[in-house]
A and B are shown apart, each in its own frame.
Chain A
Amino acid sequence: MERTTLDLWVGIFVVAGIAALGFLAFKVGNLGTYNVSQTYEVQAYFANIGGLKQEASVKSAGVLVGRVKSISLDTQRYEAKVTMSIDKRYEFDRDTYAKILTSGLLGEQYIGLDPGGGSEMLKNGETIKNTQSAVVLEDLIGKVINMLAEGSSKPKAANGKASGE
């Protein structure tokens, strides 16, 4: 085969390969959305983080504002210490409320930030004081069972009637 046609085909091949990599990086991967902007770090203590993982998103009003950087157990308080890195463009006041929420019924867990009304803003390395732990399904079921046990005298008759039919 002639040399130029061969070079042309190899050129097309290399361009196609690099274009595919670009597509994977920007359209499939998060290189397009995850801009490495400047961040600051804040901590929060939670009694229970449920299934929160590293790199989970931190959202405020549904907008992605940062990511969970690290999770560790503070052995002095026996609470989970979650470090978040938050985009410098978004500032939150000291009364901000941090909740661990779940996207959808069985989705991933993320941290939701609800701004308070304070005037002083959180700075790098500071701690969010108002937190709400993750909802653990087992605890929830336990509560429901307790509630049922407390009011069991009335529904029992109804149950017996229903099963008798």
Chain B
Amino acid sequence: MPVKKSIVGLGHRTVNTVWRLGFAARFFALTLMYSGTSFRRFGLTIREMFFSGVLSLIIIVVAGMFVGMVLGFQGYETLKRYGSESALGSLVALSLVRELGPVLAALLFASRAGSAMTAEIGLMKATEQIDAMELMAVNPIARVIAPRFWSGVISMPLLSCIFSFMGVFGGYVVGVVAIGVDEGSFWSQMQSAVDFQHDIMNGLIKSFVFGVAVTVISLFEGFDAPPTAEGVSGATTRTVVESSLAILMLDFILTAFMFRGD
């Protein structure tokens, strides 16, 4: 009976999804539980911060600069119609600090560092390094997973700040240096529009949440990948897709709570 077969298939898929979600939640809880090592031996976390944070620096700096420059051009084009070119500074700064900084930095981080984490851990599993650790009574979650998790959580807000900084600089280069918006009003309008708590802190909270989401997804996908070449490549793809979607959805939820429009 084809009807029964399709219903069985649907049920199978639903059960599998719920199982995977459960595994991911348990994995997250275990990571937090065994986090002690990554702070006691902080060298482990610093090593991972080099790979996830420092090596992402170049793409973040270049991307932030270009996003800011584009914002400068586009913002000027639109603001010119209303004769308020001097508001360019606040437009560039607010859009970067509130949205583009955290979101784009997290998307870049997911594709630059998240996919590398998944591939690394998937390959560690495929070559049975993780099983070997367990045999040597080394907890792989404490030794391999938790330092990478904390490195991502620490790096993400820093990267987001650097992205916003470069974006503001790019907007300044295009707006003030190239187009010739008045420098004084560029900075003063920016300062009167951007509030430290409402805008900058909320942006930091966002990037922290994105950091947790991206690293958990990439580590879990790597840890859960089938130990084959195909499995690792599929897991890497899933990491990028899932973390990008998670970032955008979480961003919507956080924005709805932070900027309700009142």
Contact residues of A with B, CB < 8 Å? 1, 3, 6-7, 9-10, 12-14, 16-18, 20-21, 23-25, 27-34, 55, 57, 104-107
Q: Judge whether B187 is part of the interface by a CB distance below 8 angstroms.
A: yes
State the main secondary structure of chain A at its contact with B.
Answer: helix
The answer to whether A17 touches B157 (Cβ under 8 A) is yes
Q: Judge whether B159 is part of the interface by a CB distance below 8 angstroms.
A: yes
Neighbour of A17 across the interface among B50, B82, B162, B168, CB < 8 A:
B162
| Chain B residues whose C-beta falls within 8 Å of the C-beta of A3 in the assembled complex | 43
Given known A24-B165, A28-B190, contact A106–B159 (CB-CB < 8 A): no
| Chain A residues whose C-beta falls within 8 Å of the C-beta of B190 in the assembled complex | 28
The answer to whether B161 touches A24 (Cβ under 8 A) is yes
| Chain B residues whose C-beta falls within 8 Å of the C-beta of A105 in the assembled complex | 83
| Chain A residues whose C-beta falls within 8 Å of the C-beta of B47 in the assembled complex | 6
The answer to whether A9 touches B200 (Cβ under 8 A) is no
A20 vs B50: C-alpha distance in the bound complex, in angstroms? 18
| Chain B residues whose C-beta falls within 8 Å of the C-beta of A18 in the assembled complex | 158, 161
Contact residues of B with A, CB < 8 Å? 43, 46-47, 49-50, 53-54, 57, 82-84, 93, 97, 155, 157-159, 161-162, 164-165, 168, 187, 190-192, 194-196, 199-200, 204
| Chain A residues whose C-beta falls within 8 Å of the C-beta of B157 in the assembled complex | 17
| Chain A residues whose C-beta falls within 8 Å of the C-beta of B162 in the assembled complex | 16-17, 20
A17 vs B161: C-alpha distance in the bound complex, in angstroms? 6
Neighbour of A25 across the interface among B50, B83, B200, CB < 8 A:
B200
A104 vs B185: C-alpha distance in the bound complex, in angstroms? 13
A107 vs B161: C-alpha distance in the bound complex, in angstroms? 29
A16 vs B157: C-alpha distance in the bound complex, in angstroms? 12
Closest to B56 in A: A13
The answer to whether B159 touches A17 (Cβ under 8 A) is yes
| Chain A residues whose C-beta falls within 8 Å of the C-beta of B97 in the assembled complex | 24, 28-29
A10 vs B93: C-alpha distance in the bound complex, in angstroms? 27
Closest to A14 in B: B158
Closest to A1 in B: B50
A67 vs B47: C-alpha distance in the bound complex, in angstroms? 47
